[in-house]
Structure 1
Amino acid sequence: MGNSSDGRKVCPVCMHHCALLEGQYGRCRARKNENGKIISVNYGKVTSAMLDPIEKKPLARFYPGSKILSVGSFGCNLFCPFCQNHEISMAGQTEIGWQDVTPAQLARLASGYQNAGNIGVAFTYNEPLVGYEFVRDTACLVKQNGMKTVVVTNGSVELEILEEILPYIDAMNIDLKGFTEDYYRKLGGNLNTVKAFIERAAKDCHVELTTLIVPGENDSKEKMEQEAAWIASLSPEIPLHVSRFFPRYQMTDRQATEVRQVYRMKQIAEKYLKYVYTGNC
């Protein structure tokens, strides 16, 4: 995508297609029109880094028992009112502390932790694909070092962006927030974009999905039936994590999801899927 009629540059990364004047930031806070080009302002700006169990991504069927160096930056193109990482996902570069790290430095750091059980790098915590260039460049080097790469994403980016990173990614956990367009609109997203992303990613890398069950929002049995049936139409072996909601950020007006409701959702999904896991229970 190029210029709009008034000279704005259109960002090609996600479904928002922000049309930005010179110096203007996109809705994700991580991309900007600078000197007539859309750039990633969070390239190499690491806000969080931790050696995590792979199960925390969550990935249940990808090198279980291992650890992975998990890194995040800032920015996100959705606006989930329950975001547990809102301090960085809803922040811009002047609102959060960060450290500049090059792809080569991060790849070396990951290699240095191999003796601690590290298998590679996971791009996570904020939405990594609003800064997909850093993911692509780093993942390429990590792969060259014989290590694994993981992306934890909301899947709300265009397929052209996915194609740029997919050759370098071994596994993804993709949020499937719910299964209605209305719910996705509330979160600033688009269900069809995510479905297309999941379908394409599942062809070329290991994919697991996560659905956070929010009371009164996406806890319908019928919608879980539809969601699980759709996932199974891609492959019944795609793992689904059904996760329990706790009050967070701007959504402290309701109670945590009842544990029994999470298990009801699991039972429904298991009619279609081979691997269904509960989270936060």
Structure 2
Amino acid sequence: MADFIQCGLCPHHCKLKEGQSGFCKARSCIGGKVVSLTYGEMAAFHLDPIEKKPLYHFYPGSRIFSAGGFGCNLRCFFCQNHEISQHVSHGQYVTPQQMAAMSAENDSLGICFTYSEPLVWYEMLMETAPLVKKQGGKVVLVSNGIIEEEYLNNLLPYLDAANIDIKGFSEEFYHQHTGGKLEWVLKTVEKLAAKVHTEITTLVIPTLNDSPEEITALARWLAQLDMPIAWHLSRYYPMYKSNIPATDMGHLRVLWDQVKDILPYVYLGNMPGGNTTCCPKCGRDVIRRDNGIRMETKDSKCPDCGQLIWGQGLR
């Protein structure tokens, strides 16, 4: 008889002995079963603009109750949320029913699971999401995309939108800097994009994943999905264990210029400019994000040429 049990939630497939925690720090073997160490422990919560996720084509201008637990199944040395992703602690205890109730307050669109890695908080997602849907709310996921297909399939019927981090476009980058595999993430993106509203974020880190060749290759991979995708090229700042200087804004604009004709909706994040939605046919500004959100679409179309602007919740 084996003296360990294997966690099947993500492709790490951690083999856990009694009392041992997995790679994500959020799951353990207790009593011969894999259990969540963070069930009910809410590490952070806030009412956020949907654009902060970032989601630019999903109910622009709305706000959504956002919550996250502890732990992550990656080990990025540049992590932007390392205080809760790389540690497990006690947060504010909540039940799924309480979280669902919070998601219905203050004109919230619904609930967004975010901040750390929500997929390792799986039981909370699976018990909360149906309650939110039942009361008419939307369910959003912001994730690194690392999960086994069986578990993703169980969650998919409750999801309305997702933003997935593709942290780099090489297996070498994922192996050296995250402890994961690119193929795991791409598989999830393909599955999600075919079923729910999906946007992608890439944190552009100098010398690691910022070559024009790599960024162009990722743009072409996203384009071949043959379904609309919005891509956020986000400016990196030194965090956690990284002392690499912040991404040069000029270089980020060069990368944007290089891929904007490959994908219809490409944005620059964490820096001024680059957050306006333009009509992919005639180039007119149709959604402006400066001091508030100004939608100039008409029936979700460009008012000048009639081109349909991809998204949900546009007027």
Question: Normalised by the size of structure 2, how large is the TM-score?
Answer: 0.84
Unpaired runs of at least 5, structure 1: none
Contact conserved, 1:236 with 1:274, CA < 8 A, in 2?
no
Task: State how many pairs are aligned.
Answer: 270
Contact conserved, 1:169 with 1:205, CA < 8 A, in 2?
yes
Spell out the pairing of 1:71-86 with structure 2 (5 A cutoff). Answer: 71-86=67-82
Q: Distance in 1 between matches of 2:233 and 2:143?
A: 16
Partner residue, 2:113: 123
Match of 1:45 among 35, 41, 44: 41
Match of 1:109 among 102, 115, 127: 102
Q: Distance in 2 between matches of 1:129 and 1:171?
A: 14
Partner residue, 1:192: 183
Deviation at 1:52, TM superposition (A): 0.4
Q: Distance in 2 between matches of 1:244 and 1:162?
A: 29
> Which contiguous aligned blocks of 4+ residues in structure 1 show a shift greater than 3 angstroms?
none
Contact conserved, 1:8 with 1:20, CA < 8 A, in 2?
yes
Partner residue, 1:231: 222
Deviation at 1:160, TM superposition (A): 1.3
**Larger Rg, first or second structure (1 or 2):** 2
- CA deviation map 1:21-57 (0-9, x unaligned): 0111001010011111111111121011100000000
RMSD after superposition = 1.1
Q: Distance in 2 between matches of 1:265 and 1:249?
A: 25
SS of match in other structure, 1:210? strand
Q: Distance in 1 between matches of 2:77 and 2:55?
A: 24
Q: Distance in 1 between matches of 2:227 and 2:102?
A: 36
Q: Distance in 2 between matches of 1:264 and 1:40?
A: 44
- The percent identity for this pair of structures is 47
Partner residue, 1:212: 203
Unpaired runs of at least 5, structure 2: 272-315
What amino acid sits opposite 1:124 in the alignment? T
SS of match in other structure, 2:258? helix
- CA deviation map 1:131-176 (0-9, x unaligned): 2111111111000000111010000111112111111010000000
Give the structure with the higher percent helix: 1
What amino acid sits opposite 1:149 in the alignment? V
Partner residue, 1:99: 92
What amino acid sits opposite 1:76 in the alignment? C
Q: Greater shift after overlay, 266-275 or 46-55?
A: 266-275
Partner residue, 1:13: 9
- CA deviation map 1:53-84 (0-9, x unaligned): 00000000000100000101100010111111
SS of match in other structure, 1:234? coil
Deviation at 1:236, TM superposition (A): 5.5
Deviation at 1:266, TM superposition (A): 1.4
Contact conserved, 2:193 with 2:227, CA < 8 A, in 1?
no
Partner residue, 2:32: 36
Contact conserved, 2:47 with 2:66, CA < 8 A, in 1?
yes
Partner residue, 1:25: 21
What amino acid sits opposite 1:144 in the alignment? K
Q: Distance in 2 between matches of 1:142 and 1:18?
A: 31
